[in-house]
Structure formats: C-alpha cells, structure tokens
Amino acid sequence: MTLYVTGTSPRTRVAIDNLNRICKQELEGRYELEIVDVLEHPQRAEDERILATPTLIKQLPPPLRRVIGDLSDKDKVLLGLEVRPGSSSSSNGA
C-alpha cells in the first residue's frame, strides 16, 4: 500500500495514525506501507493521477483500490480496500 500525503500537516498526521491503527488491528503482518510526500515527489502524484491528499492506494492484491481522506472512518477504509476484517479482531458490522 502507498499513502500519499502533503507535507507534515495535521491531517497528514491524523491519516498516518489512523492507518497505522487499522493495519495493526486488521492486517497485522500482512502489509507493506510506503508513505509519499507529494510536495517532495510531485511526479509520483502525477504518474498515479492523484488529486486528493491523503490518498491511500492498495496495489496488491488486485484489484487496485483507492481510499481518500484522513482514514478516520475505519469501516469505509476496510470496504475501500476490500479487506475482510482479520480473524483476530472483534466483529465488524458492514
């Protein structure tokens, strides 16, 4: 997964915190995460045609999925990533 953010804005921090928490709860050990600052690497945003920040892109496993926003809505993040809640986690009504 790649998370595109702009600089070190509060929203960037919220998104990173949210993502880390979700990954820890639901995807323990089953993911690789890269964080890209579009201010430093605008060309990468161009190549991926990203408009909004933060944007989370899941490349693998297919299909390609995008989630935009600060990832504060955990249900929507999981829905967007098409990841079944992990067995270790509590029940998660869709």
Partner 1 sequence: MTSPNHPAVEKLRTGISSLDIIAKGGLPKNRTTLISGTAGSGKTVFAVHFLAAGIELGEPGVFVTFEEAASDVRENMKSFGWDLAKWEEEGKLTFVDASPDPLVDTVEAGEFDLGALIARIQNAVKKVNATRVSVDSLGAVFSQFEDQAMVRGELFRIASALKGMGVTAVLTAERTDDHGPVARFGVEEFIADNVMILRNALEDETRRRTIEILKFRGCDHQKGEYPFTIIPDGGVIVIPLSAMQLSMKSSSVRISSGNKELDDMCGGGFFRDSVTLVSGATGTGKTLTVAQFLQGGAANGEKCLLLAFEESRDQLVRNATGWGFDFEKMERDGLLRVVCDYPDLSGLEDWLVTIQGIITEFGPQRVALDSLSALENVGTLKAFREFVIGLTSFIKHREITGMFTATTGTLMGGDSITESNISTLTDSIILLRYVEMFGDVKRGLTVLKMRGSAHDKAIREFTISKDGMHVGRPFGNVTGILSGAPMHVSPGDVERVWSTYDKLVDRRRPPEAASGA
List residues near partner 1 by CB under 8 A: 4, 6-7, 9, 11, 14-15, 18, 38-39, 42-43, 45-46, 49-55, 63-74, 76-77, 79-80
| Cβ nearer to partner 1, comparing 29 with 63 | 63
The Cα–Cα gap between 14 and 17 comes to 5
- Residue 7, Cβ density class (10 Å: 0-12 exposed, 13-18 middle, ≥19 buried): exposed
- C-beta of 30: minimal distance to partner 1 in Å? 19
Q: Is 67 helix (H, G, I), strand (E, B) or coil?
A: strand
| Cβ nearer to partner 1, comparing 1 with 53 | 53
